[in-house]
Structure 1
């Protein structure tokens, strides 16, 4: 049994519960515990990622109840990469939050750790119902973090966010129940075997349940027309919360990628055709209209929300081609997008605090008191986000474009991705010109409204840029890993064998044909 697999889930769970027991008067103790736990989580996640380099898939049956009867936690290349990304974002954002944001209300560290718990569990769970459970954990935490420190704007956005996700949760249960009624299982590996054995008479119900799930995942991934909630929600949250939320939409992308290649893969009979007719065109429209929203934004925070939507559209369009190269490029770009959007939310707060009443408005206001520091950070972030060389945004888009050359519909990805890259550059240039480089002098009577950025506050922002630079410099070995990751996803037999084969019952090292064809 691979007992170590559960550490990324247990660690934030225990840390969060302990932080909840520590009174707010001892916030320093909460900070120390949370930072130490998050640092260990980063180190462990990188070690876990290294264990998947060989291609081995690890599984752990909770309570020693073997699949499909018990709860299974699974770590393959994709899960390990997403957990590592979560750990890095969570740690760097936390180092920013402990410098004051966490004191604006009670139980910040408890909620933060449970948010990380929900995200991590969603990436590692091996069955659909526990995917729903972890979705609810991360959603409950995000509800509270969204309205953290109060305010009419946050409460209004929170009500919309809660109402929309309650509908999504209800649809999730309907979809899971439908699939359970057809397959008799909730374990994703077992469902893959059962789906492949279903007769023609069950295909309609199977596809209905699968499409309901895809609608839910599309809501989480902010796919058109289900993305309108994102700019207002992300724009209302505090900067560290919004930066952590940058990983939330990737849970939806992950769920689409996991289920469409495992449960509804080519061996399932329904195949990728379940979502292929819809995913690619909807993703292209999401990419385009997200960037149109960014161009039309009057404030920086909603603009970042639209940039997130556009980036989600690009990676989902690449995934929608369902080739090894396109999935590899999308996964590479996903890591970049999460890091750069998290950086933008933190950076916009530092800029807004030096603009007084102009806050994050995209118009000429007061000059920044630290134009050199914030200007350089913005320039680096803008280069990465616009997809200009040599940073990872350019490399990710290049990989997706190369993959699209030989694919049907690839021409449209070229057109839309290049056009939106140009529009993104224009939108970010407008911000740089009107917010960073122009501006009048701060009135002497208003100097007390200006908050300078300290070295400690700037450190997490610089660290994220450094991570992106390292990510770009290591593009060669990283793309080799994402290529292997995509190949593993498109050949789900190894995943099924790692989860379903109990050495006591099936002593063979490989799955027998009898086991593969058995109706579970």
Structure 2
């Protein structure tokens, strides 16, 4: 094996080693720990880009293949496997693109507000990358627990009674979801005798009818665990409060956590319950579609009702999760391709918005917020943060820059042209109304019309809510003040927004990548064969024998 063959394990190994290394330094050595963390995160981003290029490079036969890494050199399904394909490579790059801006933003003051911030940050990246790369359900559970355990510490980072209260709720809910995850995995293993995803895809069709109900029950329980993380109604009630209470850089990186549940559902639904699943074909698709639309409606109401900008962003995450869940439930490649484009745009936009909220809130007089009778009950009563003094150079023309960034986030979240949010929603609507080349005179189901209507209304609701928040922030306050904003605080926001602009400019190539990814998801034969036939590395003795 060449060194390039080991590149697949680097996104898991590098943050693990970095996190362990950071524990060796005293907490007072903030600059050294920050430097190590930044260098590791940049290297992780470069590796993710290299893996994206590897996943997007066809073989000599011009066919897509999945890069399979056999840990311990045990073949599937007996050993642990890491699998790189277009979808996992996309999620690795998206994680890296969110991690670096959130980390740079935290260096102004947040990384000093609690112990072991940098270690927890690296372990979170390890859990995320492992969840995106793993090829079996048990190790998916292991990586879920790693990212959840580190997210507990980051959720409580900065202390404060409201943050602790929201953090404890967050911990309890996710522990319950982890228990359901383990129960579902145990039931599936009891029926099929395997937890390797590719091997499961082969065995599910041949499960006896007497065991089919137990298999479906296990899959349903497992799905509930994923839906808790994705925030589907009524399982996502914890999300707006928790994300609003988290520190700004923590909330920014948490924007990807809800997408882990989306990723798993997007991966497993066509793989395990696709056309070759026998009696289980299409299992859960209708529930995902209905649940996604109800989640969208709940999120729309929350967006319109929220006065605090942090809760507005939290409810928008529910809207985006509902959109993606309903798209997965439609179970066709064109809708999945549009959903993938929308996933990237919405995640980048809401991450930038979480970072921007803290800066925008500095414009208002804290005393005026206390007197505002329309403020959300949980939104703006957060006490003053006891953080260290900010480090960095302040920027000029602060209000102008903040206003431009705020307007850009509004366009992206509302899905208005010309930015990538509009392209993502337009791609979904196009696929919804023409999933398989419908001819003139073909009819669409009622659920399709409801989903399309909710998608349009969600953009209108986001536009109304963000316009209202902008007026209250930049125009209405008489006692407003010009905040001190540092370059290292505004630069990460600008970086995320420029990524959305780049996604708009290069929308054609990116959409083609999403279409190829969706096609491979809904035709998983290449993935299955790549995992189950991955060759072992021959021992040196056998190589020397000839």
TM superposition score category, shorter chain reference: over 0.9
Greater shift after overlay, 243-252 or 412-421? 412-421
Mapped partners of 1:284, 1:47: distance in 2:
37
Work out which of the residue numbers 423, 427, 430 in structure 1 matches 2:461.
Answer: 423
Q: Which residue of 2 aligns with 1:309?
A: 318
Mapped partners of 2:85, 2:109: distance in 1:
37
1:479 is the counterpart of 2:511: yes
Q: Deviations over 1:456-493 (max 9, x none)?
A: 22111111111110011111001101000000001111
Q: Deviations over 1:243-281 (max 9, x none)?
A: 000000000000111111112222112445211121111
Q: Per-residue deviation at 1:325?
A: 0.3
Q: Per-residue deviation at 1:441?
A: 3.0
Q: Per-residue deviation at 1:359?
A: 6.3
Q: Which residue of 2 aligns with 1:81?
A: 90
Work out which of the residue numbers 361, 365, 381 in structure 1 matches 2:409.
Answer: 381
Q: Which residue of 2 aligns with 1:393?
A: 421
Q: Per-residue deviation at 1:226?
A: 0.6
Alignment TM-score, normalising by the size of structure 1:
0.92
- Kindly report which structure 2 residues correspond to 1:100-119, keeping only aligned pairs within 5 A, or say none: 100-119=109-128
Mapped partners of 2:279, 2:152: distance in 1:
36
Work out which of the residue numbers 136, 152, 157 in structure 1 matches 2:161.
Answer: 152
1:488 is the counterpart of 2:520: yes
1:280 is the counterpart of 2:289: yes
How many residues align structurally? 497
Q: Indicate the SS of the match to 2:282.
A: helix
Q: Deviations over 1:129-171 (max 9, x none)?
A: 1111111111111111111111101111111111111111111
Q: Which residue of 2 aligns with 1:513?
A: none
Checking the alignment, whether the CA contact within 8 Å between 2:285 and 2:328 is kept in structure 1 is: no
Mapped partners of 2:407, 2:80: distance in 1:
46
Alignment TM-score, normalising by the size of structure 2:
0.88
Q: Which residue of 2 aligns with 1:25?
A: 28
Mapped partners of 1:28, 1:472: distance in 2:
36
* Structure with more relative contact order (C-alpha pairs < 8 Å, separation 6 or more): 2
Q: Indicate the SS of the match to 1:217.
A: helix
Q: Indicate the SS of the match to 1:186.
A: coil
Q: Indicate the SS of the match to 2:330.
A: coil
Shift in CA distance, 23/359, structure 1 to aligned 2, threshold 3 Å: farther
Checking the alignment, whether the CA contact within 8 Å between 2:297 and 2:454 is kept in structure 1 is: yes
Greater shift after overlay, 28-37 or 245-254? 28-37
- Kindly report which structure 2 residues correspond to 1:28-43, keeping only aligned pairs within 5 A, or say none: 28-43=31-46
- Kindly report which structure 2 residues correspond to 1:166-181, keeping only aligned pairs within 5 A, or say none: 166-181=175-190
The runs of 5 or more residues in structure 2 that have no matched partner are 59-63, 381-395, 436-444, 538-546
Checking the alignment, whether the CA contact within 8 Å between 1:8 and 1:41 is kept in structure 2 is: yes
Checking the alignment, whether the CA contact within 8 Å between 1:371 and 1:437 is kept in structure 2 is: no
Checking the alignment, whether the CA contact within 8 Å between 2:48 and 2:96 is kept in structure 1 is: yes
Q: Deviations over 1:303-354 (max 9, x none)?
A: 1100110011112111211111000000110011110010011000011133
The runs of 5 or more residues in structure 1 that have no matched partner are 506-520
Greater shift after overlay, 405-414 or 243-252? 405-414
Q: Indicate the SS of the match to 2:127.
A: helix
Q: Indicate the SS of the match to 2:65.
A: coil
Q: Deviations over 1:113-141 (max 9, x none)?
A: 10111111111100001111111111111
Greater shift after overlay, 214-223 or 353-362? 353-362
Q: Per-residue deviation at 1:504?
A: 6.5
Q: Which residue of 2 aligns with 1:466?
A: 498
- Kindly report which structure 2 residues correspond to 1:98-497, keeping only aligned pairs within 5 A, or say none: 98-357=107-366, 358=368, 370-406=398-434, 408=445, 409-442=447-480, 451-497=483-529
Checking the alignment, whether the CA contact within 8 Å between 2:341 and 2:511 is kept in structure 1 is: yes
